[in-house]
Every structure is written in C-alpha cells, then in structure tokens.
Structure 1
Amino acid sequence: METTQVNPKVCPFCKKENGCMADSPKPCWCNDIQVPLELRAHIPEHLKMKACICKECVLLFKNDPKAFESLYLPLK
C-alpha cells in the first residue's frame, strides 16, 4: 500500500496554504468562522482530520456553493 504524506498546512480543495494556526499559541482564524458541515463532508477521506480548509474556500462555499462545487468538487 502506497502512503502519501499529508501536509496539514495545505487546503484539501484549492491546494493553497490554509493559514492553520492550530500549533501556535495564537488563536486560529477558524475560531471566528463556522465551517459548514456540508463543506466538511466533501473533504476526501484520506485528508479528514489531517488538513484544514482555508478561509477562502470556506467563504466561497458559504457565499456561492455552486461556484465552489464547480471549482473543487468532481462531477457526480
């Protein structure tokens, strides 16, 4: 079985830096924003609880779910 190392600082959707500060003494930006359960459900299984979604992806999903889906979710 091949194992790929997960970078917890990379958003599972846009692949950009997620700005996670979980390992920092400063509070993370995610403490001030609600991440929809519907969005979290789309995180690929191998990245769940391993890589945070970035603020831009959270806001895009909240403001325009269809635009988010067309950019980052595979066709069904």
Structure 2
Amino acid sequence: MQFSQKLCPFCKKDNQCDVKNAKSCWCMHIKVPEELKLLVPKENKMKTCICKNCILEYKDNADKFKEKYIKDNQ
C-alpha cells in the first residue's frame, strides 16, 4: 500500500504536521488518545501523523469515528 507522510491515515487529507519544526507544530500541543493511536493501520504506524480534525472528531465521538473510518469495525 502506498502512503504519504503528509496524509492522515484515516481521512487521507493533509495532516498539516510540521514535526520537524517541533516548537510551532500543532501536534506538539494536542493529546492524541492512546486508543486512537492503536487504530492507525499497521502499514502507517510511525510513518504518518493523524490530522488534528480526526483527533478532535475521535475525542468528540469515538464510536462514530470508528464507524466512519475503521474497516470491519475493529
């Protein structure tokens, strides 16, 4: 499977991560739930960041998020 470090593993949109510039990246100022990290597809783990919108969507309603993005409803 092809992946891009700039695409969110769930919505496939630009994750807008700038982790190379850690002080200014939004990802350094938001808590990513551990359960959400576990849902990242194996082929993308530690290779791409989850976008802020998906993190917030998951925090708002984890079950709805899983229905939308997780195949076979793990």
Structure 1 ranges of 4+ moved more than 4 A: none
User: What secondary structure does 2:53 align onto?
Assistant: helix
Residue 49 (structure 1) aligned with residue 46 (structure 2): yes
1:11 paired residue number: 8
CA distance in structure 1 between the partners assigned to 2:72 and 2:4 by the alignment: 25
Higher relative helix content: 2
Paired AA for residue 44 in structure 2: L
Residue 24 (structure 1) aligned with residue 24 (structure 2): no
User: What secondary structure does 1:69 align onto?
Assistant: helix
CA gap 1:39/1:26 in 2 versus in 1, 3 angstroms? same
Gaps of 5+ in 1: none
Residues 16-54 of structure 1: CA distance to partner in whole angstroms, max 9, x if unpaired?
000110123752101111000000000011101101000
CA gap 1:58/1:25 in 2 versus in 1, 3 angstroms? closer
After TM superposition, the structure 1 = structure 2 runs for residues 37-76 of structure 1, keeping only pairs within 5 Å, are 37-76=34-73
User: What secondary structure does 2:35 align onto?
Assistant: helix
| Matched length | 73
Aligned-CA RMSD value: 1.5
Percent of pairs with identical residues:
44
Point out the structure with max Rg over C-alpha: 1
